[in-house]
Structure 1
Amino acid sequence: MDSWERARRVLDTAGLPPDGLVDCRALSGGTYNTVEELRLTDGTRYVLKIPPSADADGMTHERNLLRSEAEFYRAAATVGVPAPEVVTAGEHHLLMTRCPGTPWGDLDPGEQVVLRGELGHLVARLHSVTGPGFGYPSGALGPLAPDWRTAFTTMYDAVLDDARRYDAWLPRPADEVARTAKAAYDALDQVTVPRLVHFDLWRGNILVERSDGTAPRIGGLIDGERMFWGDPLADFVSLALLADIKQDVDFLTGYQEAGDRAEFDFSARQRLALYRSYLYLIMLVETVPRATGAEQLARVREAVAPELLAALDEFR
């Protein structure tokens, strides 16, 4: 079926008038799911996500991402963090409200200070939410685990298995990466409570709302499909993508003002290096199933490979 017919069926499932659909347009920025904006006659806007077909290439942890995304939004709502509201969710769709604002772009220095502090408050509230176990709630890598070490090493092994399966380019062989990372696995035992982790909080997934005559504010945290229950320290990777979160004083101040700790002792630094290497492995491996073009592929390797090596070197 075409996009309009699919959208009407989803609206009908949600108890919304399918004949009220006046616009259905694709949204840019999605790298895995199909994302569309639906507008109804009363002006209400929704976002519809559709997963790729079951036989589409993808990474192992990407199965059933929409199930994780719906769980993230429902969990965020319990602590008042602005995020889309789930309208209806099924095996083959996720319909949600549209948050106000546009992806975080250039800001003047004063706005940057305020918004990074506000973001710190919001992320600390996310991390106050606890889950029923550790790992991806999608079930892509199996059921939730009783401990973080089991969950995360399963996640890490899965991305390395994907690297081998796709024969993805890495700056070091997958087996060497696996041996190097194991040196830091003992640090994972310090994490005993599964907490809500977005794990994709780069600026493109943070909406900034501007109203005439008012200061900008964060309108919503979106694209929660990569969420898992685990160590909140893992969120600091995408929050400082290809950089060092310890340099983001404004964010860390807001995070601590909201009552959460951001300590970087030896164990924390080892875990943070593990999470950095995990995300950077994903960024390199996913270029294969995404069929990334040569020019973009070169940019990804140039930017990500040194950061992956730096993270791995911290285990030596």
Structure 2
Amino acid sequence: MTVELILAQADLTEFTVRPLGGGTYNSVFRVTSPEGDFVLKVAPSDQPGLTYERNLMRTEAMFCRLGHAVAPVPEVVHSDFSRALVNSDALLTTWLPGRPLFGRDDVDRPLVRRQLGQAVAALHEVTGPGFGYPQLGLHPTWTSAFVAMFDAVKADAQRFGVVLPCVPLNLSVFDEVERPALVHFDLWDGNVLTDTGLTGFVDGERAFWGDPVAEFVSLALFGSIESDRDFLTSYGFEFTDSARVRLAAYQAYLYSIMLVERVPRGSSDPAMESLITDALSRALDVLA
């Protein structure tokens, strides 16, 4: 009933709806109607989560509205954050063609990575009004924003009984970041869509305003972006020692999140936990 109410509010009179798998936070549906094909996301109303997991749908709507102008990002068709009709935030966007890059061996991966480099570089040209997660309040500097982001994860770890290693941060390297770029921060292969080439990227609810280098973590999840010359050449990025230190800090941040979120999500896969902890250890070696 919830889905039907939302779609009626979006002025869709005839439609078929089917659940889409792959989401770890929102309920996601494929909507087919005479008006076109769409994706409907409905936020959980009472799911316990991490500190930054507040009003994520609103952040995704912001990401789509800004990103759609410069990159292959879904277009917002309808949103309802009033919670008057249903007790959740809802977002309806256009459907992008293609299938996730994850696990694919039937695509020209170097071509896709080059196209992705160009698209991500364009996305990072979008500049925000401050640093950090928009749903939590922005900071005047990237250093203060990132410290607050990491402190929140540490507090979440304590709340959920997760022991995290100490992560040393050299704050001076973050002071080098002077422009708040739009960062997706979840561009692993599962969120990159392809056909014969890149068709788009999705799931921008974890976006923030910050250092573009942070994007390189999920773009090479559990690996090293420096081995992806197709992407980096197309993007137009050359690493410095300072950028490598910042990247390691962002890796430590994301892998800390992934360890903590396992508790509220009820995940108990030991192989995945080992993968995360090994990647976190490699990042800590750079920061030591």
Using the alignment, how far apart are the partners of 1:311 and 1:284 within structure 2? 14
1:167-316 equivalence runs, <5 A:
167-170=161-164, 172=165, 177=166, 180-182=167-169, 184-209=170-195, 216-256=196-236, 262-292=237-267, 294=268, 296=269, 298-316=270-288
In the TM superposition, what is the alpha-carbon distance from 1:90 to its structure 2 partner?
2.1
**Which residue of 148, 151, 155 maps to 1:154?**
148
Tell me if the contact between 2:60 and 2:205 (Cα under 8 Å) persists in the aligned partners. Answer: yes
Tell me if the contact between 2:12 and 2:35 (Cα under 8 Å) persists in the aligned partners. Answer: no
Tell me if the contact between 1:72 and 1:225 (Cα under 8 Å) persists in the aligned partners. Answer: yes
Partner SS, residue 18 of structure 2? strand
Using the alignment, how far apart are the partners of 1:147 and 1:263 within structure 2? 23
Tell me if the contact between 1:67 and 1:137 (Cα under 8 Å) persists in the aligned partners. Answer: no
Tell me if the contact between 2:75 and 2:93 (Cα under 8 Å) persists in the aligned partners. Answer: yes
Using the alignment, how far apart are the partners of 2:66 and 2:214 within structure 1? 17
Using the alignment, how far apart are the partners of 2:98 and 2:35 within structure 1? 16
Task: Give the unaligned 5+ runs of structure 1.
Answer: 210-215, 257-261
In the TM superposition, what is the alpha-carbon distance from 1:169 to its structure 2 partner?
4.5
Task: Note the aligned Cα RMSD (angstroms).
Answer: 1.4
**Which residue of 158, 167, 174 maps to 1:164?**
158
The C-alpha deviation readout for 1:109-141, integer Å capped at 9, x for no partner, is x811111111111011011110111111122xx
Task: Give the unaligned 5+ runs of structure 2.
Answer: 82-88
In the TM superposition, what is the alpha-carbon distance from 1:15 to its structure 2 partner?
2.8
Partner SS, residue 125 of structure 1? helix
In the TM superposition, what is the alpha-carbon distance from 1:251 to its structure 2 partner?
0.7
Tell me if the contact between 1:7 and 1:38 (Cα under 8 Å) persists in the aligned partners. Answer: no
Tell me if the contact between 1:234 and 1:272 (Cα under 8 Å) persists in the aligned partners. Answer: yes
1:86 to 2:76 alignment:
yes
Aligned length: 280
Which shows bigger deviation, 83-92 or 227-236?
83-92
The C-alpha deviation readout for 1:247-294, integer Å capped at 9, x for no partner, is 0011111111xxxxx2321211111011000000011110000011x3
**Which residue of 115, 118, 121 maps to 1:118?**
115
- 2:24 aligned residue: 31
Using the alignment, how far apart are the partners of 2:91 and 2:285 within structure 1? 40
How does the TM-score come out when normalised to structure 2?
A: 0.93
How does the TM-score come out when normalised to structure 1?
A: 0.85
- 2:2 aligned residue: 6
Larger radius of gyration: 1
Partner SS, residue 287 of structure 2? coil
The C-alpha deviation readout for 1:20-52, integer Å capped at 9, x for no partner, is 12x211110000111111122x27221111111
Using the alignment, how far apart are the partners of 2:141 and 2:69 within structure 1? 24
**Which residue of 34, 37, 42 maps to 1:50?**
42
In the TM superposition, what is the alpha-carbon distance from 1:306 to its structure 2 partner?
1.3
Tell me if the contact between 1:284 and 1:300 (Cα under 8 Å) persists in the aligned partners. Answer: no
1:102-141 equivalence runs, <5 A:
102-104=99-101, 105-107=103-105, 111-139=108-136
Using the alignment, how far apart are the partners of 1:243 and 1:135 within structure 2? 25
Tell me if the contact between 1:24 and 1:36 (Cα under 8 Å) persists in the aligned partners. Answer: yes
1:56-67 equivalence runs, <5 A:
56-67=47-58
Which shows bigger deviation, 191-200 or 5-14?
5-14
Regions of 4+ moved over 6 Å: none
The C-alpha deviation readout for 1:213-272, integer Å capped at 9, x for no partner, is xxx12111100011000000000000000000000011111111xxxxx23212111110
In the TM superposition, what is the alpha-carbon distance from 1:61 to its structure 2 partner?
0.5
Work out the percentage of aligned pairs sharing the same amino acid: 47
Which residue type is aligned with residue 105 of structure 2?
L
Go from structure 1 to structure 2 and tell me whether the alpha carbon gap of 1:247 and 1:51 turns closer, same or farther (over 3 Å shift): same
